[in-house]
């Protein structure tokens, strides 16, 4: 019975962590401006890979610059507030339904945002679409594998590829046997 409060505390902690959704601000920064503006506020669940647009304010297309920076502020070990982003066309942000890709780190924080160039087939929905991209590791190279060399220090010789006759000589033998043993007419 002494362990029951500990177990209940651990279960409630797991439930609260599982239900916790994270949020981030996507910013746009015109080249002529001195500071960025909030483009969208996104809440996302990295475990279920679902996201919701909390607020979205598309930029006005009346600016003189056609290029704007799209990104967010992140914090690293050396900088508490560091801008991470890319340069996009203002007209792509002002479109009916832009698609933002949020790239998640192994700690499930957004480390960069990009604008997808895909054309949406959903014409009825308005506002941006959000795609979450998790940081999954791909195939890993086999490192520190010993290199096999011959006694003279050269690479071992690869066996020669066999010819067609060397591979399938037995088929010719079966065809010869069948043709010699069958089909004799009774005389």
What band does 50 get if pLDDT is binned at 50, 70 and 90?
A: confident
Do 39 and 27 touch, CB atoms closer than 8 A?
yes
> Reading across the β-sheet that carries 110-116, which strands appear in turn?
110-116, 99-104, 129-133
Tokens (6 digits) for 114? 């990009």
pLDDT of residue 155 exceeding 90, the answer is no
How far is CA 134 from its chain centroid? 6
CA dist 167 to 50, 124, 128, 157, 172, Å?
56, 62, 61, 20, 11
Q: State pLDDT tens for residues 109-150.
A: 888 888 876 555 554 456 788 888 887 777 888 888 887 888
For residue 168, the model assigns a pLDDT of 93
H helix or E strand, kind and range, residue 180: helix 169-181
Question: Mean pLDDT of all residues in the chain?
Answer: 79
What band does 182 get if pLDDT is binned at 50, 70 and 90?
A: confident
Identify which of 86, 53, 89 has the alpha carbon closest to the alpha carbon of residue 70.
86
Identify which of 6, 37, 46 has the alpha carbon closest to the alpha carbon of residue 130.
46
pLDDT of residue 15 exceeding 60, the answer is no
Do 39 and 71 touch, CB atoms closer than 8 A?
no
Q: Phi/psi class of residue 119: alpha, beta or left (left: φ > 0; alpha: ψ in -120 to 50)?
A: beta
User: What integer is the mean pLDDT of 7-13?
Assistant: 56
What band does 169 get if pLDDT is binned at 50, 70 and 90?
A: very high
Percentage of the residues of the chain whose pLDDT score is greater than 70:
76
Percentage of the residues of the chain whose pLDDT score is greater than 90:
8
CA dist 9 to 2, 16, 159, Å?
12, 11, 64
Q: Which residue has the higher pLDDT, 94 or 110?
A: 110
Q: pTM of this prediction? A: 0.58
Identify which of 106, 98, 101, 109 has the alpha carbon closest to the alpha carbon of residue 132.
101
């Amino acid at each position: 019975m002494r362990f029951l409060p500990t177990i209940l505390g651990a279960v409630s902690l797991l439930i609260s962590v599982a239900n916790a959704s994270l949020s981030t601000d996507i910013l746009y920064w015109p080249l002529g401006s001195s500071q960025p503006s909030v483009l969208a506020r996104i809440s996302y669940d990295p475990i279920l890979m679902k996201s919701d647009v909390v607020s979205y304010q598309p930029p006005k297309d009346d600016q003189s610059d056609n290029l704007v920076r799209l990104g967010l502020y992140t914090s690293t070990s050396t900088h508490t507030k560091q801008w991470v982003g890319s340069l996009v066309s203002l007209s792509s942000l002002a479109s009916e339904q832009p698609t933002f890709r949020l790239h998640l780190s192994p700690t499930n924080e957004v480390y960069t945002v990009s604008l997808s160039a895909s054309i949406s087939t959903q014409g009825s929905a308005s506002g941006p679409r959000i795609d979450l991209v998790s940081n999954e590791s791909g195939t890993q190279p086999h490192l520190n594998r010993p290199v096999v060399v011959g006694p003279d220090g050269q690479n071992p010789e690869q066996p020669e590829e066999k010819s067609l006759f060397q591979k399938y000589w037995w088929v010719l033998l079966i065809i010869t046997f069948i043709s010699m043993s069958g089909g004799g007419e009774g005389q």
